[in-house]
Amino acid sequence: MLDPQKLRTQITEVAAQLARRGYVLDVARIEALETERKSVQVETQELQNKRNTLSKSIGQLKAKGEDVSAVMAEVGGIGEALKAGEMRLDALKADIESITLTIPNIPDESVPDGKDEADNREEKRWGEPRAFAFTPKDHVELGQAAGGLDAETAAKLSGSRFTVLRGDIARLHRALAQFMLDLHVEEHGYVETNVPVLVNADAMRGTGQLPKFEDDLFATSVGEGEEASRRYLVPTAEVPLTNTVNDTIVDAAQLPLRMVADSLCFRAEAGSGGRDVRGMIRQHQFEKVELVTISEPANSDAEHERMTRAAETVLERLGLPYRRMLLCTGDMGFSARKTYDLEVWLPSQSNYREISSCSNCGDFQARRMQARWRNPETGKPEWVHTLNGSGVAVGRCLIAVMENYQEADGSIRVPEVLQPYMRGKSVITV
């Protein structure tokens, strides 16, 4: 969440910064709630002081043998008024918090203004798209021909936007995840971490999925009746990885914390329809290798560049053409202050499609999670910065490999770096 002090003292400036991303801050409502909160808080403090003073006087009057019934009655009345004031104060604080939890992060100054993906800025390109001597097939045709992609059986099991993988295609999918993990651990210094894919509401609030995006999540209840507790299937391993430091003060010597996890991800809202409904572009269940870094604030921008390069290296080692896009203010995610998207070339669409998104969230998530570090210069706890990125989405990477490495007969060449994970297999035949 945003700094509450800024919302109180610099709300006009905050509103202007948020307007860059198309968000209209309800300044009047927040100011009205804050004005009432301050008033009620002053009143309750005055009542508390008055009750304390009168309570002391009761003892003094009793020592003198004087009647204290009137004073005691007055104290009782103050107690009732104080209780009512405290209840109102709690309600006002809850109202203010409910608003602040739905306010997105402020974009970094380096982020270009814009309304949607059309205004994103291309930063670089790597690799040249392959010139095919035949009309390239899409991953669905290739996967079906190889007997490795089965949406029909998945639909019988779970409904639309699920896929069953078999044989060499399933193995290629696993090989990609293993390759990514090994690369990020052995060369990029991330610590492999296995995390739960069921988390509680606090974890979802900590990284910004709740309350704003509850309709996009799969949820379940554990237990029955009053003892039942709600759990959410993670939309990304960012949620459990980042929350490993919630309600924690991290020692400076531990920073940066770099973690990587391969996990299943679940999204109830899997995007728009059209051609993306076909195949594995947008699934309710998918697999992703996720990178998360917990950083001291001064180094978070450098960590953002480092993380993005780690994701780019995956695509470069696989020989997949891609481009890096700096997202504009209108296309950034809720918690991000700056985001790079990596888009991989898909021959069947003659277009670049997102395969990784790397974001610096600043202290936005840290405030929600109460995640801090102890600054050795001051000895005081301060908010950490959190970063997350796909390193990369395994299913989309599978699609890119299948399409970019296809041959005219429908066979698929296996990239050299993946062959050790495929028991030396160099071609997937139909």
Annotated binding-site residue? 55 = no
Residues 127 and 321: beta-carbon distance below 8 Å: yes
Annotated binding-site residue? 226 = no
CA 258 to each of CA 54, 187, 188, 238, 425: distance values in angstroms, whole numbers, following the listed order: 57, 12, 9, 12, 33
- With left for phi above 0 and alpha for psi between -120 and 50, is residue 224 left, alpha or beta? beta
Annotated binding-site residue? 252 = no
CA torsion sign for 16, 21, 22, 24 is negative
Annotated binding-site residue? 236 = yes
Both tokens of residue 228?
């039942």
Catalytic residue among 51, 171, 267, 368: 267
Annotated binding-site residue? 311 = no
Beta strands in 137-284 (DSSP E): 149-150, 164-165, 191-192, 198-199, 218-222, 229-233, 248-251, 257-266
- Residue 205 annotated in active site: no
CA angle 166, 171, 172 (to 5 degrees): 110
| Distance separating the N- and C-terminal Cα atoms of the chain | 52
Annotated binding-site residue? 220 = no
Place of tokens 């395969």: 355
Catalytic residue among 295, 300, 348, 357: 357
Dist. CA 195–CA 266, nearest whole Å: 14
Dist. CA 385–CA 363, nearest whole Å: 5
Catalytic residue among 74, 316, 354, 382: 354
Annotated binding-site residue? 263 = no
**Residue 204 burial by Cβ neighbours in a 10 Å radius (0-12, 13-18, 19+):** buried
CA nearest neighbour of 416 among 309, 345, 317: 317
Dist. CA 71–CA 233, nearest whole Å: 58
- Residue 130 annotated in active site: no
- Residue 21 annotated in active site: no
**Per DSSP, what are the bridge partners of residue 122?**
325
Catalytic residue among 282, 306, 324, 372: 282
Place of tokens 């296309």: 331
- Residue 357 annotated in active site: yes
Residue type, 160: S
Annotated binding-site residue? 357 = yes
Specify the long-range contacts of residues 6-10, CB closer than 8 Å, at least 24 apart: 7/100, 8/34
| 321 three-class SS | coil
Annotated binding-site residue? 356 = yes
- Beta-carbon contacts of 285 under 8 Å, excluding residues fewer than 6 positions away, are 158, 162, 264, 265, 266
CA nearest neighbour of 293 among 261, 262, 259: 259
- Residue 55 annotated in active site: no
Dist. CA 269–CA 215, nearest whole Å: 8
Annotated binding-site residue? 153 = no
Active site (catalytic) residues: 267, 282, 354, 357, 396
Binding site for L-serine: what residues are annotated? 236-238, 290, 390
Binding site: what residues are annotated? 236-238, 267-269, 290, 354-357, 390
Binding site for ATP: what residues are annotated? 267-269, 354-357
